Structure 1
Amino acid sequence: MGRSVIEIDGSLGEGGGQILRTALSLSCLTQAPFRMLRIRRNRSKPGLQPQHLTAVRALKTVCQADVEGDRAGSQDLVFRPRRVVPGRYDFDIGTAGSTSLLLQALLPPLLFADAPSTLQLVGGTHVRMSPPFDYLQSVFFPFLHSIGITASVSMERHGFYPQGGGRMGATVMPVDGGRNIPPVQVPSPPFLKKIRGVSAVANLPIAIAERQRDAAMKILQGNGVEAEVDVRSVSAFGRGTYIFLGSMGKCAAGFSSVGERGKRAEAVGAEAAQELVSYKQTEACLDPHLADQVLIYLSLAAGRSTFTTSMITEHLITNLATIERFLSIDAEIRGRQGDRGAVTVKGVGFKR
């Protein structure tokens, strides 16, 4: 008899694509089938959009799943996984959808495969509402390395909205058979070292990147934050701008902003800098995005992990609720949504 199907309401909590990506990852990893209803029901474009369909089909390929409902606009999906197959994979989102979010969905099952994998992902590398490549390289992957996970990321070409076309690569080494991911106790108050960052443009005057940097530096220096921000011109199909600011200390944090039509360069730089200053003032360790992103790995770890975050988000709360549908973890979030908080997770000690 097959395993019972886990039913998930895709409209609960933040009600976005993160619920789907987490469910896909853990379904492949645990080989537990699921059905998700009301996917993105309350969004302006409800149901599966191109970037979500790419995630479904990518995970379908990686774990040889049987899938029902994988079509544009669908709000009902059934996913029945089989064994995770490592290898070389190429996935093209076809739009400026986030390559970073797709990579984060693929990582957990491939980490517990029985051989290394390489990925080539095409889409948006620097787009709104997702971590830019710089964040993966400077914040997310270093945190994974600190808990014994071996994976690396590279970029051949930047991709901005609306053209996309960015190309990101990744290499994933499996966790050694029989070994667990170790738990972590992240320090607090933080050890915030010098901030390093990048202000960049693609197919636009370099003066725009300089204005972004100058606006960010003014805010950082005014709040006693030492920073070094490089100015660059980068390769991309279309035009685009962004700024990224990352902490290189024992605490992991990164903040970014991307340019948009009608958004002044000064606003781009100030947005990222003000988020960093707000983070620093909380004396928490993980930024709100990393707190959400690492939760799945700490849930797979053997033992109790603890960390503080500068803000408890609805993403964090919803992601935890989704993880709990697949893994019998013992977790607690202390604090109110929108405020500084602390998270404790006793993981299941997952092994392949």
Structure 2
Amino acid sequence: MSPTACRLLSVLWKMIHIDGSQGEGGGQILRTSLALSAILKKPFEITGIRAHRKPPGLKPQHLAGVKAVAEMTQATVKGAALKSQTLQFTPGDLRGGSYVFDVAEETSSAGSITLLLQTVYPPLLFSPTGAKLILKGGTHVEWSPSFDYFQEIFLPATARMGAAAVFHINTWGWYPVGGGVVGGEIKPIKKLKSLQLTSRGRLKRLKASLILSNLPLSILERQRQRLQEKFGMLNLEPEIETHQVPSPGRGCAIFLLAEFEGGRAGFSSLGARGKPAERMVDEVYEAFKDYDETEGCIDAHLADQLLLFMALAEGVSSFTTSHLTQHLFTNVEVIQKFLPVRFEIQKEDRKYGRVTVTGVGFEF
């Protein structure tokens, strides 16, 4: 057998096999696999990519993530094409530097910048030099965290673990046009600290941001009145900020920040054709109310996003969350394929739950 064939067999033998149809069967399985593959320098193969989505396979934002991590690690990749349901990824050495990632590079798309950031942010924390980034695509689109959520909820949570990153939005990208532009810088880190987010404490601040591009300003006033009416029912008076923002498209969003003594939670709603402005307020109100009726410290979206960082950190990390979702359980299974950790998940009642893990103390 030739040396080349021997090396190929060695890589295949070490390759981690991921079932993309397991659990909720969405894109998070791929994003987590790419991030951990790059950090740990472990090759993987995934089959059944986004098997539970219609249509299945790689969409522009997922393909952008594959190409981004491949560029960051000089990876060998098979199956990196739109609609592909199978991918082999063999990373090389992780490199920092300056990168420009465009979700619409392959085809016109308002694919999510924040989901792309979920893929590249963890590896770049552990790169030798950190990174400066420009990302292009959708900043406020369905089925993904808004940029406001990423900036106000996700980044402060990882900062508690020692991560240092600053991001700013230059242009807002709405569905279906996209065209958003986000810039940022990620500082390198040697090791993540453990995290404790188990008790939310007293509500300190409630702030609603009303965001609008190229639509009538009367929408903002209707939403302001509705916010005061709805939250008045809870004897709460949120701070209200209005923002008219630049974008090549049209759109509107509401982001509600709930800041407690022990942590933060965030709730978003996006406008859509035929959707009353008042319904957007109702959606964030109901989401906040649903969260506030539990004792969980963090919301369900942040719970899913923090698992990877906790598994890599040094020591015991723990959080309580308002909802234990299928996304969370699926992400746990993927992480445990890459790392010798075991998450302990306790249901405190019908929804509220506690997640604990002893991290591996990964050090760059």
Q: Does the 8 A contact of 2:61 with 2:115 survive in 1?
A: no
1:209 alignment partner in structure 2:
220
- CA distance in 2 between partners of 1:36 and 1:339 (Å): 31
The reply to whether residue 154 of structure 1 matches residue 164 of structure 2 is no
1:70 alignment partner in structure 2:
80
Alignment of 1:315-326 (within 5 A): 315-326=327-338
The reply to whether residue 60 of structure 1 matches residue 74 of structure 2 is no
1:121 alignment partner in structure 2:
135
Encode CA deviations 1:182-227: one digit per residue, 9 max, x unaligned. Answer: 1122141433221112111100011112222332332222123331
The residue type paired with residue 67 of structure 1 is V
Alignment of 1:319-334 (within 5 A): 319-334=331-346
- CA distance in 2 between partners of 1:259 and 1:36 (Å): 35
Q: How does the TM-score come out when normalised to structure 1? A: 0.96
1:141 alignment partner in structure 2:
155
- CA distance in 1 between partners of 2:350 and 2:275 (Å): 26
Name stretches of at least 5 consecutive residues in structure 1 with no aligned partner.
none
- Residue number among 218, 240, 243 corresponding to 1:229 in the alignment: 240
The residue type paired with residue 156 of structure 1 is N
Alignment of 1:86-125 (within 5 A): 86-94=96-104, 95-125=109-139
Q: Does the 8 A contact of 2:310 with 2:317 survive in 1?
A: yes
Moved more, 39-48 or 332-341: 332-341
- CA distance in 1 between partners of 2:303 and 2:120 (Å): 18
1:41 alignment partner in structure 2:
51
Q: Does the 8 A contact of 1:219 with 1:274 survive in 2?
A: no
Q: How does the TM-score come out when normalised to structure 2? A: 0.93
Count of aligned positions:
349
- CA distance in 1 between partners of 2:52 and 2:302 (Å): 25
Alignment of 1:1-352 (within 5 A): 1-2=10-11, 4-94=14-104, 95-176=109-190, 180-249=191-260, 250-335=262-347, 339-352=351-364
The residue type paired with residue 49 of structure 2 is I
How far apart are residue 124 of structure 1 and its match? 0.4
- CA distance in 2 between partners of 1:218 and 1:224 (Å): 10
Q: Does the 8 A contact of 2:255 with 2:266 survive in 1?
A: yes
Q: Does the 8 A contact of 1:190 with 1:284 survive in 2?
A: no
Encode CA deviations 1:121-168: one digit per residue, 9 max, x unaligned. Answer: 000001111111111111111111112111111110000000000001
Larger Rg: 2
Sequence identity, in percent?
44
Distance change >3 Å, CA 239–CA 228, structure 1 → 2: same
Q: Does the 8 A contact of 1:5 with 1:34 survive in 2?
A: yes
Q: Does the 8 A contact of 2:24 with 2:52 survive in 1?
A: no
- CA distance in 2 between partners of 1:20 and 1:134 (Å): 23
SS of equivalent residue, structure 1 residue 61: helix
SS of equivalent residue, structure 1 residue 294: helix
- CA distance in 2 between partners of 1:268 and 1:124 (Å): 19
- CA distance in 1 between partners of 2:268 and 2:187 (Å): 28
SS of equivalent residue, structure 1 residue 339: coil
Q: Does the 8 A contact of 2:200 with 2:297 survive in 1?
A: yes
